[in-house]
Every structure is written in C-alpha cells, then in structure tokens.
C-alpha cells in the first residue's frame, strides 16, 4: 500500500508537467512550421512529403500528450491526481516522477498491455 502524495511531491510533479507541456508545445510549433507548404519548388518534393507525414504523426502524438498533461493538472487542482483511473489506488511517486501524466498504476497498465499482446 503506497502513501498519498505530499504537497512537496505534488509541487515537484506539477513542475514536471508544466515543463513537459512547454516542451511539447515548442515541438508542435516547430512541426507546424515544417508543415507549411514549401515556398519554392526546386526538386526533392517526394522527400519533403514523407518528412511532412512523419511530422504530422508526431504532432498528433504530442497533442494527445498535452491533453493528458492538462487532465493531470486539472486533477491536481481538484485533488484527484495520483490515483489510478482503473482501480483507484494511489500511484507511487516514483512512477509519477517518470511519467507524471500517467493515469494508471503499473498493475493496471500491465494488465492492459498483457491483454493487448494476446489479442
Ligand atoms: Zn490501478
């Protein structure tokens, strides 16, 4: 049985979330710039299109992460942060420090991955 988070631990995780969000937003901004149509066309079109598809995928992934970070910050505000969305246990601080936007404990996540692997 793990302990609920202390205010100091919450502060630390909040700082991590905000930093991560900022990084993602910068990445997305960068990707958006890459997605702009080429201004001049002097060959290498195919290569550029492939690069743009990859960037689009990355942008989508980043957007999903930002949504999760926002959800985590909102949960912090209403006091439900750090609880597993599946079983309701307190997610250990050590795990949150690695992935502060996580919404599930290792046990639940592991169970899912096991299920997904079998499917
Ligand atoms: Zn759980």
CB 66 within 8 A of CB 25: yes
Q: How far, in Å, from the CA of 114 to the mean position of ligand 1?
A: 14
Cα–Cα distance, 42 to 9 (Å, whole number): 54
Q: How far, in Å, from the CA of 88 to the mean position of ligand 1?
A: 6
In this predicted structure, the answer to whether residue 44 has a pLDDT above a threshold of 70 is no
Q: How far, in Å, from the CA of 19 to the mean position of ligand 1?
A: 26
Q: What sign does the dihedral 66-68-69-74 (CA atoms) show?
A: positive
- What are the pLDDT digits (tens) for 47-57? 677 777 878 88
Q: How far, in Å, from the CA of 57 to the mean position of ligand 1?
A: 29
Q: How far, in Å, from the CA of 83 to the mean position of ligand 1?
A: 8
pLDDT on residue 118:
63
Confidence of residue 45 (pLDDT cuts 50, 70, 90): low
Q: How far, in Å, from the CA of 103 to the mean position of ligand 1?
A: 9
Cα–Cα distance, 118 to 70 (Å, whole number): 32
CATH of domain 7-36+43-118: 1.20.120.910
Q: How far, in Å, from the CA of 84 to the mean position of ligand 1?
A: 5
- Percent of the chain, pLDDT > 70? 88
Which range (41-45, 59-63, 82-86) has the least confidence?
41-45
Q: Please tell me the pTM assigned to this model.
A: 0.74
pLDDT on residue 6:
93
Cα–Cα distance, 91 to 58 (Å, whole number): 28
Whole-number CA gyration radius for the chain: 19
CB 105 within 8 A of CB 87: yes
């Amino acid at each position: 049985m793990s302990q609920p988070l202390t205010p100091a631990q919450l502060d630390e995780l909040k700082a991590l979330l905000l930093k991560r969000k900022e990084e993602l937003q910068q990445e997305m901004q960068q990707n958006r710039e890459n997605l702009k149509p080429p201004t001049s066309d002097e060959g290498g079109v195919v290569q550029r299109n492939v690069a743009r598809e990859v960037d689009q995928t990355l942008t989508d992934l980043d957007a999903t992460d930002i949504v999760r970070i926002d959800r985590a910050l909102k949960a912090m505000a209403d006091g439900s942060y750090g609880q597993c969305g599946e079983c309701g246990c307190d997610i250990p601080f050590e795990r949150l420090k690695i992935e502060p936007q996580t919404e599930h404990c290792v046990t639940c996540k592991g169970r899912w991955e096991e299920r997904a692997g079998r499917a």
